[in-house]
């Protein structure tokens, strides 16, 4: 009997964890690490200089403010910020170490529909 109850609880627990639709205003924040790839700049036809920039890991942040209609439909305004520090710049034929910061900003308006699936995802 205990084995049956334990097996039944593994089935019942995920069903109770289904998310409820968002109703009303909400606010969300996110933060993480930005891993910027190297940037290769090819030489223009008039010069013999090529550049490659390498970056340290940086900060990435996101914030959104939205409103949930209650039946799965949400509208939100979102903004993000990404910051990476330049580790080095290599110029061909001459290399040198340099510094600097690459900052990126973004703004979005989203319309989102949350699907109510019969299994946890």
Task: State the total domains in the chain.
Answer: 1
For residue 8, the model assigns a pLDDT of: 45
Q: Is there a domain that residue 12 lies in?
A: no
Query: Does position 118 have pLDDT exceeding 70, yes or no?
Result: yes
120 within a domain of the structure (yes/no): no
Domain extent for 72 = 21-113
| % of residues, the chain, pLDDT over 90 | 38
Could you tell me if residue 1 is inside a domain? no
Indicate whether 7 belongs to any domain.
Answer: no
102 in any annotated domain: yes
Among the listed residues 84, 90, 80, the one whose alpha carbon sits nearest the alpha carbon of residue 33? 84
Q: Which residue has the tokens 């039946």?
A: 71
Residue 16 lies inside a defined structural domain of this protein:
no
Q: How confident is the model at residue 53 (pLDDT cuts 50, 70, 90)?
A: confident
Buried b or exposed e, range 33-49, using 16+ CB within 10 angstroms: ebebeeeeeeeeeeeee
Residue 61 placed within a domain: yes
Tokens 């909400």, located at residue: 26
């Amino acid at each position: 009997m205990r084995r049956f109850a334990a097996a039944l609880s593994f089935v019942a627990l995920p069903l109770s964890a289904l998310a409820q639709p968002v109703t009303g205003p909400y606010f969300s924040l996110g933060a993480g690490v930005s891993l910027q790839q190297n940037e290769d700049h090819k030489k223009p036809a008039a010069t013999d200089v090529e550049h490659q920039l390498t970056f340290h890991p940086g900060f990435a942040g996101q914030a959104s403010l939205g409103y949930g209609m209650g039946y799965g439909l949400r509208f939100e305004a979102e903004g993000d910020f990404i910051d990476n520090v330049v580790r080095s710049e290599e110029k061909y034929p001459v290399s040198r170490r340099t510094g600097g910061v690459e900052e990126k900003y973004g703004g979005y308006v989203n319309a989102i529909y949350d699907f109510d699936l019969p299994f946890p995802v």
